[in-house]
Amino acid sequence: MEQTFARRYRLTKTDEFSSVFGFRRAIRGKLLMLHYQPRPEGNTEARLGLVVAKKLLKRAVDRNKVKRVVREQFRLRLAGLPPVDLVIRLAAKPAPLDGKLLAEDFLALLNKLQRPRPKRED
């Protein structure tokens, strides 16, 4: 298993983030919000982008911890993910910054994403 977070698994450009936010699909968890967009045909891997606002976490060390925890969980679950672009952002200020709680919230969001949604009847 690859132990790095390679560039091909990252959203790097502003346009990539904008297109995911523009697609307007999101799932909210307790602490995190997951915005997602299916990738075009021919792409088989999921990609991840992270947004952690200074408004919610003032200290850089705390923002970096959030990013580190989410990236690690993404890397571990990458093989089972559909080809989507994901943007994770902090939705609520965590009272005590707990890596385990962040990881559980992120995994719950991934499980919701992979569950097929029931068809809506009009």
Reading the chain (122 residues) residue by residue, the pLDDT tens digits are 567 778 888 998 999 999 999 998 899 999 999 999 998 888 889 999 999 999 999 999 999 999 999 999 999 998 888 899 999 999 888 888 889 999 999 999 999 988 766 666 65
* CA–CA gap between residue 82 and residue 17 (Å, rounded): 18
pLDDT value at residue 27: 93
The CATH architecture of the domain made up of 7-114 is 2-Layer Sandwich (3.30)
Closest CA to 107 of 27, 11, 2: 27
pLDDT value at residue 38: 92
* CA–CA gap between residue 85 and residue 67 (Å, rounded): 16
pLDDT value at residue 34: 94
pLDDT value at residue 92: 87
pLDDT value at residue 105: 94
| 3-state SS class at 27 | strand
